[in-house]
Structure 1
Amino acid sequence: RPGSTHVGANPEQLFALGYAACFDSALSMVAGQMKLVATSKTSVEVGIGQRPDGGYTLDIDIYVETTGIDAEQAQQLVEAAHKVCPYSNATRNNVDVRLHATAL
């Protein structure tokens, strides 16, 4: 925080780290189910957004880079992982989560 004397991660950063680790595990599980041989790298950005009623909510972007599969497979994999990831299930219909898949 600007002007703060506190050192360390903020709650949004900690949530992003947990979400990224969980989502990457979901990707591995789903890739196996889909019989895809792929590697992935997941990063999550979490911010604070304002709700129409004046309150605040989380705002999330999930970025996944894959290797070993094409762009269409990468998108399908990310969407399937989003259906089973516990963090995704916890935030579903509560938080705006945007998925970004890239095949390298």
Structure 2
Amino acid sequence: MTIQSVDVMYTAVATAENGRDGRVSSDDGKLDVVVNPPKEMGGSGAGTNPEQLFAAGYSACFQSALGVVARQAKADVSGSRVTAKVGLGKTEAGGFGLTVELAVSIPNVDDATAKELAEKAHEVCPYSNATRGNIAVQLTVV
């Protein structure tokens, strides 16, 4: 697999303290959250967790990519929604891995156009490009 070359326009910086049971904050102070393992993994579930943060980032990024391809296609994606479900589990090798399900709803276009826009957004989205070939990403138009 070829590593993509990127002309960096912005760099986000965040620091974690105490891993999954601590705090994550950005260098500009706009993000400062308590993280705790979910109850399903034996944690308190009191704070957010890395998978929720990844799902939030992926869904927002994909929604923006959808807007880009919709403008190019002159399609109406107003009222659209992207829901990301990020799963965490053990891999066959004994480590941990992620899965992603992206559910895309575009109410103002027909089903075929919605599918085409979602597939094009999947080619444009930086999160999709970062995960492609690394983790299972299921794209569904709802």
The reply to whether TM is greater than 0.5 is yes
CA drift of 1:56 comes to 1.8
Q: Does 1:20 align with 2:20?
A: no
**Partner Cα distance (2:48, 2:69) in 1:** 30
SS at match of 1:53: coil
Number of aligned residue pairs: 102
SS at match of 1:67: coil
The corresponding residue for 1:73 is 113
Q: Does 1:9 align with 2:57?
A: no
More helix per residue = 1
Letter in 2 for 1:24: Q
SS at match of 1:21: helix
**Partner Cα distance (1:83, 1:95) in 2:** 15
The corresponding residue for 1:33 is 72
Letter in 2 for 1:82: H
**Is there any run of 5+ residues in structure 1 with no aligned partner, and where?**
none
CA drift of 1:31 comes to 0.5
**Partner Cα distance (2:70, 2:50) in 1:** 30
**Partner Cα distance (2:127, 2:109) in 1:** 25
Q: Does 1:83 align with 2:120?
A: no
SS at match of 1:93: coil
Change (3 A) 1:6 1:49: closer
CA drift of 1:6 comes to 5.8
Change (3 A) 1:6 1:78: closer
Change (3 A) 1:5 1:48: closer
Q: Does 1:60 align with 2:100?
A: yes
**Partner Cα distance (1:42, 1:14) in 2:** 15
Q: Does 1:46 align with 2:86?
A: yes
The corresponding residue for 1:95 is 135
CA drift of 1:55 comes to 2.2
**Partner Cα distance (1:101, 1:6) in 2:** 30
**Is there any run of 5+ residues in structure 2 with no aligned partner, and where?**
1-37
